[in-house]
Amino acid sequence: MEPSTERVTARPAPALAPFIDHYVGYRMFGYAPGLHRGLPSAHMTFIVSIGPSIDVVAQTDPGQAPQDYRCSVGGLQASSALISHDGRQEGVSVALTPLGSRALFGVPAAALWDTSAEFADVVGPVGRELWERLQEPLGWPERFATVDRILSRLADPDRVVAPELSWAWRAVVGSGGTLPVGTLVEEIGWSRQHLARRFGGEFGLSPKLAARITRFERARRMIERTPSFVSIAQVAAVCGYYDQAHLNRDFAELAGTSPTNWLREEVPSVQDTDRSVERR
């Protein structure tokens, strides 16, 4: 069987758009068994498996035991997890921003920092319902609509992040991780210490680390998607690194490997099918 990868994206329902950037449906089969790296991102972990469970063999926190998940949720992280697979991977990934943790889970993103959990253990029976519904033989539009319906029942728009922190998060991510912390301080009018304390209490990490993770994620996506004649040094310059060595150090600390090794290990050797689903 020839290896095959399908990747389908869609926007969430309007009521969920303040909290969720997009959905990704993915299906991979025909690959050799191996390990996948769950990398730091500006999105929280929220993945619903279809078929085989998500087998996390090394957590981002070494103190947390390995575990299988049907629907995995977790906070932001500054290191990679290792997920074992048998050559098949299928599911729906929800690009949940930490601004949506309160609305959907009833807790700040900081409560889930550097950890992962079964969705049902966080929100109760509706978490099991989401997984069960997605096991049905549905197409991607129907699957995304199912996620919309169930998450809309959970969402409480009155559980919101403080406006100063919401603005700060969006500013950091919107700048690609290049906005200086001093600019945040000037715009919000808080002291640097107060900003760090409030930001960490809401999201689980400092503004500086949030910027670093955002910059890393942007560089990773560029490395994955740009032609081979674009060098890693060029990507480093575009993403705001001092030089390629700076980017390499961030990869080593945040991903646990070098950019070239990650590219060789993680990116499928076949052309991805990447299409969008129109939402009505």
What is the per-residue pLDDT across 230-279, written as a single tens digit (0 to 9) for each? 899 999 999 999 999 999 999 999 999 999 999 888 755 333 445 565 55
pLDDT score for 268: 55
Pick from 159, 188, 209: which residue ends a domain?
159
Q: 20 with 143, same domain?
A: yes
Q: Which residues pair with 275 in a beta bridge?
A: 8
Q: 53 with 34, same domain?
A: yes
Kindly state whether residue 107 falls inside one of the protein's structural domains.
yes
Q: Residue 183 is part of a domain; what is its CATH number? A: 1.10.10.60
Q: 32 with 151, same domain?
A: yes
- Model's pTM, two decimal places? 0.93
Helices and strands (H and E) in the chain: how many: 11, 11
Pick from 97, 130, 159: which residue ends a domain?
159
Kindly state whether residue 272 falls inside one of the protein's structural domains.
no
3-state SS assignment for residue 25: strand
Mean pLDDT of the residues in the chain: 93
Q: 186 with 259, same domain?
A: yes
Kindly state whether residue 279 falls inside one of the protein's structural domains.
no
pLDDT score for 280: 40
Per-residue pLDDT tens digits for 67-119: 999 999 999 999 999 999 998 999 999 999 999 999 999 999 999 999 999 99
Q: 189 with 89, same domain?
A: no
Q: Which residue has the higher pLDDT, 13 or 5?
A: 13
Work out the average pLDDT over 177-190: 96
Q: Which residue has the higher pLDDT, 229 or 26?
A: 26
257 burial (CB, 10 Å; 0-12 / 13-18 / 19+) is middle
Q: Which residues pair with 90 in a beta bridge?
A: 27
Strands (E), 11-115: 20-29, 34-38, 45-49, 54-58, 67-69, 71-74, 81-85, 89-96
Work out the average pLDDT over 155-184: 96
Kindly state whether residue 280 falls inside one of the protein's structural domains.
no
Q: 152 with 258, same domain?
A: no
Tokens linked to 126: 């509706």
Q: 48 with 148, same domain?
A: yes
Q: 171 with 109, same domain?
A: no
Pick from 131, 159, 187: which residue ends a domain?
159
Q: Residue 66 is part of a domain; what is its CATH number? A: 2.60.120.10
pLDDT score for 2: 83
Kindly state whether residue 273 falls inside one of the protein's structural domains.
no
Q: 143 with 169, same domain?
A: no
Q: What percent of the chain shows pLDDT beyond 90?
A: 86
Kindly state whether residue 70 falls inside one of the protein's structural domains.
yes
Q: 130 with 220, same domain?
A: no
Q: How many domains does the chain have?
A: 2
pLDDT score for 275: 56
Q: 75 with 136, same domain?
A: yes
User: What DSSP assignment string belongs to 98-121?
Assistant: GGGHHHHHSS-GGGGTT-EEEHHH
Kindly state whether residue 39 falls inside one of the protein's structural domains.
yes
pLDDT score for 271: 32
Per-residue pLDDT tens digits for 21-62: 999 999 998 888 999 999 999 999 999 999 999 999 999 999
Show the domain range for 149. 4-159
Q: 85 with 109, same domain?
A: yes
Kindly state whether residue 15 falls inside one of the protein's structural domains.
yes
